[in-house]
Amino acid sequence: MLKETLNRFLIINGVQAALVVQENGEIIESMKSGIALDNDLQNVIATIMLDSQVTAKHFGDALLSMVFVEYTDYFLILGPLMEEFFLVIIAKNTANIGQITYEMKKNQDSIVAQL
C-alpha cells in the first residue's frame, strides 16, 4: 500500500524518486524511475536531514517543515512525516515544485498511517 502512495509522486512530470527514509538515512520504502538509489545517495540524504536538525536548533528548536536542495539538473525536497521518518522527493529541475509540495502535504497523513 505504501508503494502505491509513493507511486502517486512518480506520475508528476519530472519526479524521479519518492522515498520514505529514517533519519539515519535508511530507506524504508521507495519508488523510483530513472535514478539509482545507492549508499552514497543514502548518506547524502542522512547528512541533509541531520544538518537540517542542527540548523533548527540554532533557530530555537524550530520545527522542520521542509528542506529544498537544488543541484544543476535535479532537486531534492525533504519533509518530515513523523518523529524519525521523512518523505524525500527527487526530481528533475524542470518539475513543478508547487505541485510536488502540495502532493507531499496532501499525502502525509496517508503515508504516516502506513508506517
How many other CB atoms sit within 10 Å of the CB of residue 104?
20
Domains of the chain, residue spans: 2-114
Quickly tell me which residue has 539538473 as its cell. Answer: 73
Q: How many CA atoms lie within 13 A of 79 on its CB side?
A: 19
pLDDT at residue 11 tops 90? yes
Give the pLDDT mean for 33-44.
79
Global pTM exceeds 0.75: yes
Return the CATH fold of 2-114. Answer: Beta-Lactamase (3.30.450)
Q: Write the pLDDT tens digit of every residue in 50-109.
A: 788 788 788 887 777 888 889 899 999 999 898 889 999 999 999 999 999 999 999 999
